[in-house]
Structure 1
């Protein structure tokens, strides 16, 4: 059993490239975002879950998203995410986001409460209060609080700009501190069938990532996605989704790493009609 944890640790260290003051492993995107190469910060809809703190401001009635992944196909390492949205009024909403990633020996949890609001016709703002926790068996556990901010702007009728920052004021968990993360991107949505997205992501101790992806709906019930992210090692994403009656949907996505292999992911969603 020990070799499994050692393998997970080696993969983590080789992937992050820099472990100075780094506590949290890279968060794995949900299935829809993973399939688009993670280029989702400016996605102008709640259909991919809460990809930006401003999303609750879109006034989604009620929505639930449940996603899980098996990083690089390692059976002892699992991730899970639960998100929910609830409209407060036509111009604002609230959300919750719960993330888990870990093995039997090491676990990470992140809990977020979110609020988003529409400011005018083309501007959406949002923020989150975050609680972070890590535990490592006999070595104990530690926790910290943080926050995030998000922005979405409809710059042109078909063009959206998005930005978000997580953990801008770094709070220690034990002797270390999770990194600050800044994402800036754009999405072009000329119609209801096509979305093209691109963004940059900067994590404090890591190289800048460039992400791009697309979403195409040949018919309303079927969604095809693909994307790529680069920054050290290029990774490819691809997947598909189906939309069923009653607001139900299923998304499948995978990310391929040339050294570490495939990360499969699945997500179930429900959006109140």
Structure 2
């Protein structure tokens, strides 16, 4: 009975508008998460979850992979984890996505396929297809499919602009319950090889627009310092990335949410 009551409270917390998002929407890799949830202009494996157009930056005939996890409220049952891989082909790249949130009584799973390619040296487009499965104990399971589109444009070598729309058509998941939708636009400014500054606006149709700002600073060749903030509701993020071997790095940090508290997270990336 205690397990049932605890599980019920968790499901209510997930569904409550206070959380400002579904368990698996949106999904961020650890780097984007620690940079305030920004990454519309990211490329290669860093763009897998944030903008499919970024897959056009995947190295040809090269596999990259990344995995990350975060624990919300400090409760193991509310752990969100994702894993993904990319493969470069000619002027573009493919990506595979798999993410999971929850526990045995309530679980959300997302699986996706993405592709991005260059139209010109400075302009890229991409698309991703995602399936959402929701399994709740004593209730019917659901599985829904949607898609998204993205673009990236290089204004000058130091300044890149990106835009993304996810699930552009209103799709009903259950009675009076719909798949989340997202429209995002932003820019990335790189004044030097050691600094990246991101600024984006994300609009989820069910919630107020969120302004997200992130920064990454590389004080040394193997070390990255990441910072970020977001509005509606307020979030502050901080973390570090360290290259432990050639093309392999690990990241760790946390997000402080003004209502939900601290969410620690870790990740690994092989490029």
Q: Does the C-alpha gap of structure 1 residues 211 and 118 become closer, same or farther in structure 2, counting only changes over 3 Å?
A: same
- The answer to whether the aligner puts 1:179 opposite 2:177 as a matched pair is no
Q: Does the C-alpha gap of structure 1 residues 144 and 49 become closer, same or farther in structure 2, counting only changes over 3 Å?
A: closer
Q: Give the paired residue count.
A: 265
Give the Cα separation in 1 of the matches to 2:231 and 2:57: 30
Q: Secondary structure at the match of 1:190?
A: strand
**Structure 2 residue ranges without an equivalent (≥5):** none
Say whether the 8 Å CA contact 1:188–1:196 is kept in structure 2.
Answer: yes
Q: Secondary structure at the match of 2:192?
A: coil
- The answer to whether the aligner puts 1:95 opposite 2:95 as a matched pair is yes
- The answer to whether the aligner puts 1:2 opposite 2:1 as a matched pair is no
Give the Cα separation in 2 of the matches to 1:65 and 1:38: 16
Q: Secondary structure at the match of 1:43?
A: coil
Say whether the 8 Å CA contact 1:34–1:253 is kept in structure 2.
Answer: no
Give the Cα separation in 2 of the matches to 1:25 and 1:113: 16
Question: What is the TM-score when the length of structure 1 is the normalising length?
Answer: 0.91
For residue 139 of structure 1, what is the aligned residue in structure 2?
139
Q: Does the C-alpha gap of structure 1 residues 196 and 53 become closer, same or farther in structure 2, counting only changes over 3 Å?
A: same
Describe the superposition over 1:197-220 as per-residue Cα deviations: whole angstroms up to 9, x where unpaired. Answer: 010000001011001010000011
Give the Cα separation in 2 of the matches to 1:48 and 1:239: 19
- Mapping of residues 1-273 of structure 1, within 5 Å: 1-12=3-14, 13-16=16-19, 26-44=25-43, 46-47=45-46, 49-60=48-59, 61-89=62-90, 91-175=91-175, 176-231=177-232, 233-271=233-271
Give the Cα separation in 2 of the matches to 1:79 and 1:132: 14
Question: What is the TM-score when the length of structure 2 is the normalising length?
Answer: 0.91
Q: Does the C-alpha gap of structure 1 residues 180 and 148 become closer, same or farther in structure 2, counting only changes over 3 Å?
A: same
Q: Does the C-alpha gap of structure 1 residues 141 and 194 become closer, same or farther in structure 2, counting only changes over 3 Å?
A: same
Q: Which has the higher contact order (CA 8 A, sep 6+)?
A: 1
Say whether the 8 Å CA contact 1:23–1:177 is kept in structure 2.
Answer: no
The structural deviation recorded for 1:46 is 3.6
Give the Cα separation in 1 of the matches to 2:254 and 2:22: 25
**Structure 1 residue ranges without an equivalent (≥5):** none
Say whether the 8 Å CA contact 2:68–2:83 is kept in structure 1.
Answer: yes
Say whether the 8 Å CA contact 1:43–1:160 is kept in structure 2.
Answer: no
Say whether the 8 Å CA contact 2:92–2:118 is kept in structure 1.
Answer: yes
The structural deviation recorded for 1:23 is 6.5
Say whether the 8 Å CA contact 1:183–1:200 is kept in structure 2.
Answer: yes
- Over aligned residues, Cα RMSD in angstroms? 1.9
Give the Cα separation in 2 of the matches to 1:258 and 1:114: 33
The structural deviation recorded for 1:29 is 2.4
Say whether the 8 Å CA contact 1:145–1:171 is kept in structure 2.
Answer: no
Give the Cα separation in 2 of the matches to 1:115 and 1:255: 29
Say whether the 8 Å CA contact 1:153–1:160 is kept in structure 2.
Answer: yes
